[in-house]
Structure formats: C-alpha cells, structure tokens
Chain A
C-alpha cells in the first residue's frame, strides 16, 4: 500500500454538502452578545471623545440584560412551559432540549442556565470595571467590549455540541481574556501577566486541540452526537481505543488548565496578581464557568461511557486542587494571590461534581458555579476598591483595621469571605454541601472527607482576613477613613451580597431550577442532504430562504420569522 493509493481511495469530491439545520431563535442570546461587543467598539470609535465610561458601562449592562432576556424563552422551550412566551412559531420545534446548526450547538437546560449566568455576570463585572476606570480617570472602551466578546465565547462553550465548536468558543473566550489581563499599560506586572497567560494558554489550547484530533481519528467525528452514537454502538479495539483515551486525556489537561486545577495552576496566582483587578473579577468568574461547562460537555456528555477511565484522573485533580489550593493560600501575604489560591481550592470542589457524572454531580456543578460567580466578583470588587489607584495596595496589611475605617466595605467583604468559607446561611454553604453530597453519592467517601478537611483549612485563611479587618488596629497601608466606594462598584457589591444571602437563606429556587437543567446530547433534526437542490432554489429565490432551510417548507409560518 502506498501513499498515493490512500489519496486515490477517498471519494472526497463526490460527497454532497449538507445544509445545516439552523434554529435562529436559539442563536439570539449569542448574536446579541457578539453584536453588542462589535457595535460598542464601532460606536466608541465613531463617537470618539463624546462618549465615556458611563456610556460603555450602560451599553455592556444592557447587552447582558437583553441577552439574558432572550434566553428566557429558550428556557421555556426546553422546559416545555406555556408556549405563549415564545415569539417564534413553536409548532416547528417540539418542547424539550434540542440541537441546532446540524447538531453542533446544543440547547438544553444546562447550556441555557449557564448562558443566563454568563449574561448576568457580564453586567456585574462591567459595573466593577466602571468603578475602577472612573476612579483612575481612565477612559477605555476595550475593557467592556472585550468582556462582552469573551462572554460570547463562553456562551458558545456552554452550548457546544461539537468539539471544534468547543475549541472555537474556548479561543474566542481566551483571546479576549489575554488582552484583558495585559490591559493596564502603566503597570509592568499587568503585561507580564498577559504574556504569561497568553503563552501558557496557547500551550494548553494546542494540547486541547491535539486531543480533539486524536478523538477524531479514533471515532471518525468531532460531533458529540456522533461520538456518543459511535461509542454506544462499537467496542473500541486496539489503536482506536488508545487514540480516544489519549485524546480525552489531552482534552482534560487543556480544560484543567483553564479552570486552574492543581498541576496546571501555576499561571493563576501570577495572572490574578498582575492583571487589573476588575479584569480578574471577570476571569475568575466567567472563564471558570465556561471551562467547567466545556468539561461537563466533553466528559460527562460526550465520553460518559469512558467514565471509569477519566474518573480517577479527575479525582486526583480534585484532591490536589482542594488541598494544594487551601494549603498554599495559608502562606500568602498578597490578598489577590490568596484569593487566586482559594479559587483553585473552589475549582477542586466543582471537580467533585464533574467527577460524580450523574444528576447529583450536575446539581453540585451548577449550584457551585452560580454561587461562586457572584462570590468571586464581589470579593474582587472589594479588592479593587482597597487596592486603590494603580492597583498597588494588595498586601494583607492594607486590610488591617478596615472595619474601623470603612465598616460597610469590611462588612461586605466579611459576608463574602464567610460565604467562601461555607458558613451556613450563606450561599457558599449549599455549594459545598452539594459538592460533598456528590462525592458521597458516587461511593467515594474519602473524597468527601478530603473536601471537608480542605474546607476547614480554607476557613482558617478566610477568618484570618476577617480577623485582620475587625480586630487589629489600622496600619499605615490601611485606606484612610472616608475611602470612596465608586457608585457602580457599590451597586455590584450590593447585588453580589444580596444573591449570596438570598441563596443562603432560601436555596429552594436555585436548586429547583438547577434540577431542571441536565446536560443532554440530542440528535439534530434529520439532515437534508438529499434535498439540497430544493434548498438551494429556495435560497436563490430570496425571501424566506433562511427559514426554509431550517424546517420543512410545508409547515412554515407565512411571516419570515420576524417578531410580532
């Protein structure tokens, strides 16, 4: 057999191009985010000096909220609620989870819930960022615009039903975040953080992509739908199973880097330390949400049949992150690094949920992500205020006696830290509770014990901060009395604390929503390869061309899918 014969055998050109089935309503949250970011950049450059931070912030908040609003009907559709909330003709799309764009983008409870979470996190982060730029007298549109674009990638990852789509989402997310990390041109640490994050991020993305290529070689497809079908119907033998296992391992490494699980965590303290604090709030929340969404999609949904193989790996990652994060955080004297290590420890808890790979685990992941997002944004919002202009005052000494100087700020931070420690009547308690339940549920009680021990260690470091704020006299680096809390940051803080306390006191609404949000892999509607000529004709006719590609032409509504 020669190389030439290999090329001769492949019937590449005779294959028919299949027009993908696109359900446009499912794409609206994504489109709102992408357009919002691009239009913001356009307007900002057209209007020049006439617009400033208030406009950018207003725009970002509105984009996030509109995208959130457009995701609500999707949720209604997935849950099969009263169809009157839908603005499109519901008869073409049956209730329940579905996939679209030829099965590349999944709309299920999991993806819609995380889309909503991301859409809410962006406005809160924008408020924090607005406070910082207003205080420092900066006027840059790049921060809000990059946040919106990065969130677009996060939404793509939450719904990705195809490994290549997942990779594209990951890159859209990451490329914007690299720039966010390097954005402060006055601080050399910021650019170092950006370069470090970029080099290591690109390194891990390449591993992730190589994993996809190997899985493609082993299963013959990158689509999770086809992969699950293939794995369910075939027993992998010899080289194929090696390829798939190696591919999954490389993908786990790539995603573990993004969530900063312990052997792959070394970038995170440096980047959190160097990057502007308001960017860190975004990085720690949205990037982690998206990376865990991708992890669940790949491992639990796509390679659930390989759970016996990847579960030990995740258990090791979880234990190392839980213990390593908490222990190293103890010796930190810089609050941003301390929070970075504590977020590594949090990632360990979420890994417990992923590792369980069942309903309990899914509930643990989603509850933890929702809770953690608001906790971490709030915490870094406080850090951005105490850090003061120039992002320089992040040592523990800056927090000494903060309770006497600025009681409201210290009180807010105390609530958020206690929640991170998992104190009852705060949201963090339920997050940790469900994570431990998930570990117990899968017969790995030793993991639960490790998790609880590490929670005790971590509690010490949060209490150390609380004690420094309330029971120590103010030092030289402590902010002067009357330190100004920018109004927008204040709003963000109030929101975060409200969410934390609300979930802590009444967790019922969150858990009932989360229980309706299982990840799913759904077959796309039947492909239309044989009908391609008719579709092409429709497309050439203009008019409702796009719509006729999506559905059977006979059952089309008479309007071309517009709003009422």
Chain B
C-alpha cells in the first residue's frame, strides 16, 4: 500500500475518532446525532479510499448503501428527540437520568 494513500485512511480515522469522542462527551442530543453522522461519513471515506486503492467499484457502491442507512438513522433519531422535546423542552442528555445503568 502506498504511503500517499494512507493519508485518506488517517484522515478518516481522525474523523471517526472525533465523532466517537464527541458522542461520548457532548450532551446535546442533536450534537450527538451529528457525531453519529460524522462517524458514518468517516467510514464512507475509508470505503472510497480502499475502493480506489484496490481498483474496485464495490467500495464506492457501498457508500450509497451507508448513506441511505445514515438518513434512516437520522429520521428515527430525530423522531425520538422530538418526542422527548415535546415533554421537556430544552432537555439535554444530563436530564435523562430517570434510568441509571
């Protein structure tokens, strides 16, 4: 694998880490949703980079599937967030503490 190509993978790994870290530390449900999106798009970048390296179309086709899944995920996530916001406007993840793990 050529070193120049690894740059895309490193960038994707960094984006993925930012998303994962953000999901763990941010408390706003909407920002958490965005972090999930960032993680999925980092994976998309990985797929495209590998697809280019391998000279294989499948990596890029996969991105289309992941995009659809990501959109569906946002729909469901926003639905749940809206349902909560109706009950308690301005709620953050810190307010979600009736259940303790």
Contact = CB atoms under 8 A, between A and B. Distances in A.
A194 interface: yes
Contacts, number: 131
Contacts of B60: 12
Contacts of B9: 217
Contacts of A205: 73
Interface in A188-232: 188-189, 191-196, 198-199, 202-203, 205-207, 209-210, 212-214, 216-217, 220-222
Most chain B CB inside 10 Å of its own CB: which residue of A202, A222, A239, A269:
A202
A175 interface: yes
A12 B1 contact: no
A537 interface: no
Interface in B57-101: 57-60, 62, 65-66, 69, 72-73, 76-77, 79-81, 83-84, 87-88, 93, 96, 98-101
Given A164-B62, A220-B56, A206 B80 contact: no
B20 to A, nearest CB: 7
A15 B57 contact: yes
Q: Which of A194, A207, A239 has the most C-beta atoms of chain B within 10 angstroms of its own C-beta?
A: A194
Given A12-B57, A164-B62, A195 B81 contact: yes
B36 to A, nearest CB: 4
B18 interface: no
A185 interface: yes
Contacts of B2: 1, 6
Contact of B80 (A3, A179, A207, A267): A179
B59 A216 contact: yes
A2 B4 CA distance: 7
Contacts of B1: 239
A270 B16 contact: no
Contact of A10 (B47, B52, B69): B52
Interface residues of B, number: 51
A202 B58 contact: no
Contacts of B36: 199, 202-203, 206
B101 A270 contact: yes
A266 interface: yes
Nearest to A179: B76
A29 to B, nearest CB: 22
Contact of A195 (B16, B53, B59, B96): B96
Contacts of B53: 6, 217
A27 interface: no
Contact of B40 (A164, A192, A209): A209
Contacts of B42: 210
A10 B19 CA distance: 30
A274 B99 contact: yes
A166 B88 CA distance: 37
Given A182-B80, A182-B83, A195-B81, A168 B99 contact: no
Interface in A221-247: 221-222, 239
Contacts of A214: 46
A178 B83 CA distance: 13
A167 interface: yes
30 contacts: A6-B53, A167-B69, A188-B98, A189-B98, A191-B87, A195-B80, A195-B81, A195-B96, A196-B96, A199-B36, A199-B77, A202-B73, A203-B20, A203-B23, A205-B73, A206-B19, A206-B20, A206-B39, A206-B43, A210-B39, A210-B42, A213-B47, A217-B53, A220-B54, A221-B56, A221-B58, A222-B58, A222-B62, A270-B99, A270-B101
Given A6-B4, A185-B83, 10 more contacts: A1-B2, A3-B7, A6-B52, A171-B69, A178-B76, A188-B87, A192-B84, A193-B99, A217-B53, A269-B101
Q: Can you list the 3 inter-chain pairs with the closest CB atoms, starting with the nearest?
A: A206-B39, A217-B50, A213-B46
Interface of B: 1-2, 4-5, 7, 9, 16, 19-20, 23, 29, 32, 36, 39-40, 42-43, 46-47, 49-50, 52-60, 62, 65-66, 69, 72-73, 76-77, 79-81, 83-84, 87-88, 93, 96, 98-101
